[in-house]
Amino acid sequence: MTDTAERVHETVPETDRIVVRFAGDSGDGIQLTGDRFTSVSALFGNDLATLPEFPAEIRAPAGTLAGVSAFQIHVADHEVTTPGDAPTVLVAMNPAALRSELDLLVDAGTVIVNRDAFVARNLAKAGYEADPLADGTLDGYTVITAPMTELTKLACRDLGVKPRDAERSKNFFALGLVSWLYSRPTEPTLEWIETKFAGRDQVIAANRAAFAAGHAYGETAELSASRVSVGAAPLEPGTYTNVNGNTALSWGLIAASQQAGIPLFLGSYPITPASDVLHELSKHKNFGVRAFQAEDEIAAVGAALGASYGGHIGVTVTSGPGLALKSEMIGLAVSLELPLVVIDIQRGGPSTGLPTKTEAADLMLAMHGRHGEAPLPVLAARSPSDCFFVAIEAVRLAVEHRTPVIMLSDGYLANGSEPWRIPAVEDLSAISFAFTSEPNRIGPDGEPAFWPYQRDDRLVRPWAIPGTPGLMHRIGGIEKEDGRGNISYAPANHQKMVDIRAARVDAIADRVPEASVVGDSDARLAVVGWGSTWGAITSALKRLRGRGHQVAHVHLRHLNPLPRNLGALLGGFDRVIVPEMNTGQLARLLRAEYLIDARTVSKVAGQPFMAAELEGAIEEELGGLHRRDASLNGGGSR
Amino acid sequence: MTDAPVTTKKDWATDQEVRWCPGCGDYSILTAVQLLMPELGVRRENTVFVSGIGCAARFPYYMNTYGLHTVHGRSPAIATGLAMARKDLNVWVVGGDGDMLSIGANHLVHALRRNVNITILMFNNQIYGLTKGQYSPTSEQGKVTKSTPQGSLDQPFNAVSVALGAEATFVARTHDMDRAHMQEVFRRAHAHQGAAFVEIYQNCNVFNDGAFDAITKRDARPFMIIDLRHGEPVRFGAEGELGVVIEGGRARIAPVAEVGIEALAVHDEAAADPSAAFAMNRLASSVDVPTPMGVFRAVERPEYGASMDAQIVMAQARGGPGDLKELLHSLPTWRVG
Ligand code: SF4
């Protein structure tokens, strides 16, 4: 691999970044092609970020616009935090893909098409009246048209593969061609084909042949002029792997279970885009994980709570519609003061909304979506690999503070991937707690007694699990007398318990790291973000700073309780901007909490922010600040 | 289990004042359970009562064991998680007909089909008591209540039929007027490996008084209760003069003198096929006809939590216990620097 890479460096011009968008029919293997390109780029040493986009229908009619599946990847020789605003290269496997994706491409970008798919029937399905390859539609772009289907069939002809089966390998032809154009190593893909399709020799042979044919096509079709290479990025030393958010999250839960020394119980009901966490954890029973597919969302969280009551780490993972269904049970967990981790991989809503598209509009649901006063900690992950650490933090807070915790991720983080420097297991911080095994009172009869709601100085009650002699107790969702835990309808006691439940969550702020500023701390404008907007904000601010602007970035992992210093910190800025994939939910919280004029930059289009969109919005705010200064300074002359 | 200390009813009772209406059938069920527990050879700390919402769901507060009073209808789901996590516990689930057959019917049938190791006691009083008298999913059609002044329109559920249809491995019916019968059924349910379902006809003397009198009054019992005994011909009546015949998949009552003892159905609770149990239960079409009581079905099938644990053991036997470092390096990796 090193040999190839070095040779390539000698002969191929370098570029600092490319953004490739693979698009085709959902049956064309686009996601797999994108994954492979990601994997070899990661192994090659680039930094990268990805954005898979699937149609909601599993089998949308072939060749139609609704059936287009896409995968975008940003590959660079420097740190990147977004999948790229606009692709520099579009690989379109059919006319529908070209039609739906072409507008995204940068001016003078490269278009690679499977020419064989551009036949009358497919053109009609895509709504083209004339052939876009011939009518000037692609003027101004660099266009590579390869007869991918025919050349794949040809390459497979002598392998005894039926033409219809051979055709299915055409995505490997595309991958081969793109790998050649961008000087990607070939060995990892060939090896992967062997492992992935082990035992299916014909499939291996066909895919290898298609890949090789695509790779060779670049040379023979004399496309060298289009060939570029992207060098390795100067990443911190360490061992890296490429993870998506759902995998990192699942591993975080397993790590947390190991750190706490108690088994993990996952109750889950299949829902896009959260099901992959259920799938991943189901594979790891050797860690003692009980992954339980429940009959519905309510049973999923109920079983998790039951497991927590029994001394396991009860976790449930879902998306917005599921979180709505779980409300009542989460309220019970608040009342029972038992550990429970609820993970919401947000998607477009309301209702079924956009199941396969991203959005971050469940913050208010997480904060307040229960009847009665039912506060609980809320956390959000900012990048795919951050899901690992936030999952551990969620378990830590749940277990150490005996409370349900809601962790927010979203569809973009769930499926998007990035290179991740694998942390040393020894460096993961411990989760410390102990089950209660002894009575904590002397009863009126002089005998030892157990009060389930007797609290420690952090207002945390004991976790006494069934099976512990002498600590039998009865608790439930009816209001309880503080301390003793017996049913109580007393007015003053309810007031006290409501206050305690709020204070308990508030006390967690003592261990929440102070909010800190990334960028120019003496800037006048701060951008406050939460969740997956981190990448786009980081990238936009880098560009603005590169052009001489001063801007600060505060990104929140803990949304409840908020860092203690946040109010004072934000109060020091003239302008606070909050980009959100909703209509302003965090901004509303900040306004309510600190009486500051937090301003929303909103996007709810089922897609993450592009850095350029934020760059523009923030620049406008900066302009507004300058104009205000000018009018204040020159007030007399007006 | 056998090393459990000797206890009495008093050890299993709490100091909490019992808050059911005076005369409620729930009292006799509580007494039956509290009296039975010392005989089961289990420890109090290894026993958990889980409930949902309703009059019956207050039950855990009165048992000096671990107890969890949860949300309406969801107790079978919560108990499922608990029983899966903790095979060492005896998990009992207590609820009423509204809790288990209306808002929580979904969880009930799934707990039963999975065969989770829980013992479910469903108090059927054919009414909503705690909310003060609306018709329930087991109320007879035409029932006049506060929410059905012109009579209810709903076809009721027959709880035993639901449980049999859900592939339950243990299904029984008893009633609150016969402590010995209740205890015998509860004992069997407790001993069963997997999900055990017991329907208890329970009198709500405030909102549906006497609903089961036609069957459960002492003098009516010989003619109205068809006692199911495994391996024996099904017969009842003061002298055993009546019997049950199953023909063409349908059960009917016949005088033994007419059909002959050989024609009677022989009750087989262990039958793999629940058809005969189902046919038998169809006799209980309302609460004023002879009604089968006892164990309808008791078959062996792998218990859910144990099967889950077996998969864990198998996974660990194959690849050793999980190694976190290995997991974090399980996708392709590369080194920088
Ligand atoms: S309302 Fe009926 S079921 Fe409820 S406690 Fe009173 S008598 Fe018993």
Residue % of chain A over a pLDDT of 90: 89
**Distance from residue A422's CA to the centre of ligand 1 (Å):** 60
B30 CB within 6 A, ligand 1: no
d(CA A458, CA A96): 59
Task: Using a CB–CB cutoff of 8 Å, tell me whether B152 touches chain A.
Answer: no
Predicted confidence (pLDDT) per residue in A614-636, tens digit: 999 999 999 999 998 888 876 54
Please list, in sequence order, all residues whose beta carbon lies within 8 angstroms of the beta carbon of residue A457, skipping any fewer than 6 positions away. Answer: none
Q: Are residues A261 and A198 in the same domain?
A: no
Supply the pLDDT for residue A8: 44
Instruction: Determine, yes or no, domain membership for A456.
Output: no
Q: B89 vs A466: CB contact, 8 Å cut-off?
A: yes
Q: Are residues A28 and A141 in the same domain?
A: yes
For B81, which of A241, A267, A285 is closest by C-beta distance? A267
d(CA A306, CA A44): 46
What is the average pLDDT score of chain A? 94
d(CA A327, CA B71): 11
Q: Are residues A59 and A29 in the same domain?
A: yes
**CB contacts, 8 Å: A305 with chain B:** 78, 81
**Distance from residue B19's CA to the centre of ligand 1 (Å):** 9
Instruction: Determine, yes or no, domain membership for A470.
Output: no
Q: Are residues A313 and A219 in the same domain?
A: no
Pairing of strands A378-380, A404-410: parallel
Distance (Å) from the alpha carbon of B331 to chain A's nearest alpha carbon: 6
**CB contacts, 8 Å: B67 with chain A:** 472-476
Predicted confidence (pLDDT) per residue in B60-76, tens digit: 999 999 999 999 999 99
B73 CB within 6 A, ligand 1: no
Task: Using a CB–CB cutoff of 8 Å, tell me whether B106 touches chain A.
Answer: yes
Predicted confidence (pLDDT) per residue in A396-453, tens digit: 999 999 999 999 999 999 999 999 999 999 999 999 999 999 999 998 889 999 999 9
Mean predicted confidence (pLDDT) in A527-536: 98
Q: A312 vs B85: CB contact, 8 Å cut-off?
A: yes
**CB contacts, 8 Å: A242 with chain B:** 331-332
Q: What angle do helix axes A148-156 and A170-181 make, rounded to 10 degrees?
A: 110
For B69, which of A240, A302, A477 is closest by C-beta distance? A477
**CB contacts, 8 Å: A231 with chain B:** none
**Whether residue A272 has pLDDT greater than 60:** yes
Which residue, of A427, A457, A488, is where some domain finishes? A427
**Distance from residue B210's CA to the centre of ligand 1 (Å):** 12
Question: Which site among A287, A431, A472, A484 would you substitute to test the B interface, given the most B Cβ atoms closer than 10 Å to its Cβ?
Answer: A472
Q: Which residue out of B18, B20, B59 has the highest number of ligand 1 atoms within 8 Å of its CB and is therefore the one to mutate?
A: B20
Residue % of chain A over a pLDDT of 70: 97
Q: Residue A102 in contact with residue A111, Cβ under 8 Å?
A: yes
| Other C-beta atoms lying within 10 Å of the C-beta of residue B301 | 17
Distance (Å) from the alpha carbon of B87 to chain A's nearest alpha carbon: 10
Instruction: Determine, yes or no, domain membership for A467.
Output: no
Per-residue confidence band for B2, with pLDDT thresholds at 50, 70 and 90:
low
CATH number, residue A602: 3.40.50.920
Q: Are residues A254 and A199 in the same domain?
A: no
3-state secondary structure of B10: helix
Q: A286 vs B110: CB contact, 8 Å cut-off?
A: no
Domain boundaries, chain B: 9-211+302-309
**CB contacts, 8 Å: A232 with chain B:** 336
3-state secondary structure of B200: strand
Chain B (50-89) residues lying within 8 Å, Cβ to Cβ, of chain A: 50-51, 60-61, 63-71, 74, 77-86, 88-89
Q: DSSP secondary-structure letter at A638? A: -
Task: DSSP for A489-521, please give it.
Answer: --HHHHHHHHHHHHHHHHHGGGGSPPP--EE-T
Supply the pLDDT for residue A3: 40
Mean predicted confidence (pLDDT) in B112-123: 98
B12 CB within 6 A, ligand 1: no
Q: Give the burial string for A45-75 (b: 16+ CB within 10 Å, else e).
A: bbbbbbbbbbbeeeebeebbbebbbbbbbbb
Supply the pLDDT for residue A160: 85
Distance (Å) from the alpha carbon of A421 to chain B's nearest alpha carbon: 9
**Distance from residue B255's CA to the centre of ligand 1 (Å):** 38
B204 CB within 6 A, ligand 1: yes
Which residue, of A427, A444, A477, is where some domain finishes? A427
Please state the atom number of ligand 1 nearest to the C-alpha of residue B202. Answer: 3
CA-nearest residue for atom 5, ligand 1, is B20
Predicted confidence (pLDDT) per residue in A20-61, tens digit: 999 999 888 999 999 999 999 999 999 999 999 988 777 778
d(CA B190, CA B185): 9
Q: Are residues A154 and A268 in the same domain?
A: no
CATH number, residue A285: 3.40.50.970
Task: Using a CB–CB cutoff of 8 Å, tell me whether B125 touches chain A.
Answer: no
Instruction: Determine, yes or no, domain membership for A89.
Output: yes
Please list, in sequence order, all residues whose beta carbon lies within 8 angstroms of the beta carbon of residue A399, skipping any fewer than 6 positions away. Answer: A260, A262, A313, A339, A431, A433
Supply the pLDDT for residue A127: 95
**Whether residue A306 has pLDDT greater than 60:** yes
**Count of domains forming chain A:** 3
Inter-CA distances, A5 with A11, A14, A18, A41, Å:
10, 12, 17, 12
Supply the pLDDT for residue A4: 42
B205 CB within 6 A, ligand 1: yes
Per-residue confidence band for B1, with pLDDT thresholds at 50, 70 and 90:
very low
d(CA A178, CA A149): 15
CATH number, residue A202: 3.40.920.10
Q: A305 vs B329: CB contact, 8 Å cut-off?
A: no
Q: Are residues A211 and A246 in the same domain?
A: no
Q: Are residues A225 and A245 in the same domain?
A: no
d(CA A72, CA A399): 38
Please state the atom number of ligand 1 nearest to the C-alpha of residue B19. Answer: 5
Tokens of A620: 């406008």
B20 CB within 6 A, ligand 1: yes
Which amino acid is residue A207, in one-letter code? Answer: N
Q: Which residue out of B17, B18, B51, B55 has the highest number of ligand 1 atoms within 8 Å of its CB and is therefore the one to mutate?
A: B55
How far is Cα of residue A533 from the mean position of the Cα atoms in its chain? 10
B253 CB within 6 A, ligand 1: no
Which residue in chain B has the smallest CA separation from A236? B336
Task: DSSP for A272-321, please give it.
Answer: TTTHHHHHHHHTTGGGT-EEEE-SSHHHHHHHHHHHHHTTSEEEEEE-HH
ipTM score for this prediction: 0.97
Q: A474 vs B68: CB contact, 8 Å cut-off?
A: yes
For B81, which of A304, A328, A475 is closest by C-beta distance? A304
**Distance from residue B54's CA to the centre of ligand 1 (Å):** 9
CA-nearest residue for atom 1, ligand 1, is B129
B21 CB within 6 A, ligand 1: yes
Which residue in chain A has the smallest CA separation from B116? A303
Q: Name the fold adopted by B9-211+302-309.
A: Rossmann fold (3.40.50)
Q: Is the pTM of this model over 0.90?
A: yes
Mean predicted confidence (pLDDT) in B107-133: 97
**Whether residue A577 has pLDDT greater than 80:** yes
Q: A467 vs B335: CB contact, 8 Å cut-off?
A: no
Task: DSSP for A48-106, please give it.
Answer: EEEEEE--SSTTPPTTSGGGEEEEEEEEESS---SS-SS-SEEEESSHHHHHHHGGGSP
Q: Are residues A412 and A386 in the same domain?
A: yes
CA-nearest residue for atom 8, ligand 1, is B24
Which residue, of A197, A230, A263, is where some domain finishes? A230
Q: Give the burial string for B35-60 (b: 16+ CB within 10 Å, else e).
A: ebbbebebbbbbbbbbbbbbbbbbbb
**CB contacts, 8 Å: B337 with chain A:** 235-238
Per-residue confidence band for A252, with pLDDT thresholds at 50, 70 and 90:
very high
Q: Are residues A331 and A408 in the same domain?
A: yes
Q: B336 vs A240: CB contact, 8 Å cut-off?
A: yes
Supply the pLDDT for residue A634: 67
Task: DSSP for A146-175, please give it.
Answer: E-HHHHHHHHHGGGT--HHHHHTTHHHHHH
Q: Which phi and psi angles does A603 have, rounded to 5°?
A: -145, 120
d(CA A1, CA A516): 41
Which residue in chain B has the smallest CA separation from A259? B324
Mean predicted confidence (pLDDT) in B251-264: 98
Supply the pLDDT for residue A7: 43
Instruction: Determine, yes or no, domain membership for A504.
Output: no
* Structural domain of A341: 241-427
